[in-house]
């Protein structure tokens, strides 16, 4: 995949993440926060089963290789569940902009650490001054966005 296509795909996915918390928050008003998170994951799971069954190389049969993955690699869904639950609870307080700003800042902060130390199976990558400045600017952005 070209870098341009990857960038546009990531931007498109980011727009969906930005809409996820407000959509789930509206559902939560009808069924409750954690129940809405559950429904969100059930719908997502069904979509992924369909997509993997139809489009993924090896289909769902590739799940047989699950035992070859390290145990820590199985907790990604837990991270997603925590994110969805926290987003549902905090979006009404922070708003969509505040939530997104805080989430993006947290994502970049942990990503810098992952790159620097080569965590979670990724190769080590140096942390430049420009990355640190970018992170500091994001922190400042969070402060500006969430302050009243």
What's the confidence (pLDDT) of residue 58? 83
Nearest to 20 by CA among 42, 37, 45: 37
What span, in angstroms and rounded, lies between the C-alpha atoms of 81 and 30? 19
User: 102: domain range?
Assistant: 3-146
What's the confidence (pLDDT) of residue 26? 93
CA 59 from chain centre, in angstroms, equals 24
What's the confidence (pLDDT) of residue 133? 95
In the chain, which residues have pLDDT < 70? none
Report the number of distinct structural domains present in the chain: 1
Q: At what angle do helices 33-55 and 76-117 cross, to 10 degrees?
A: 80
Whose tokens are 């993997």? That residue is 52
Q: What burial class does residue 47 get, using C-beta atoms within 10 Å of its C-beta: 0-12 exposed, 13-18 middle, 19+ buried?
A: exposed
What's the confidence (pLDDT) of residue 60? 83
List all residues 6 or more positions away from 51 whose beta carbon is below 8 Å from its beta carbon. Answer: none
Neighbours of 29 (CB within 10 A): 10
What's the confidence (pLDDT) of residue 46? 95
CA 70 from chain centre, in angstroms, equals 21
Q: At what angle do helices 129-146 and 76-117 cross, to 10 degrees?
A: 140
Contact 87, 18 (CB under 8 A): no
């Amino acid at each position: 995949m070209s870098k341009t296509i990857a960038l546009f795909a990531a931007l498109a996915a980011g727009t969906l993440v930005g809409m996820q918390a407000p959509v789930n928050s509206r559902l939560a008003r009808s069924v409750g926060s954690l129940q809405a998170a559950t429904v969100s994951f059930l719908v997502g799971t069904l979509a992924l089963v369909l997509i993997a069954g139809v489009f993924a190389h090896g289909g769902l049969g590739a799940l047989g290789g699950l035992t070859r993955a390290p145990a820590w690699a199985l907790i990604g869904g837990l991270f997603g569940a925590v994110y969805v639950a926290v987003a549902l609870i905090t979006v009404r307080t922070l708003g969509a902009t505040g939530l997104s700003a805080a989430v993006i800042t947290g994502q970049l902060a942990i990503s810098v650490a992952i790159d620097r130390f080569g965590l979670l199976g990724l190769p080590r990558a140096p942390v430049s001054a420009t990355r640190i400045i970018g992170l500091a600017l994001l922190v400042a952005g969070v402060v500006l966005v969430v302050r009243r």
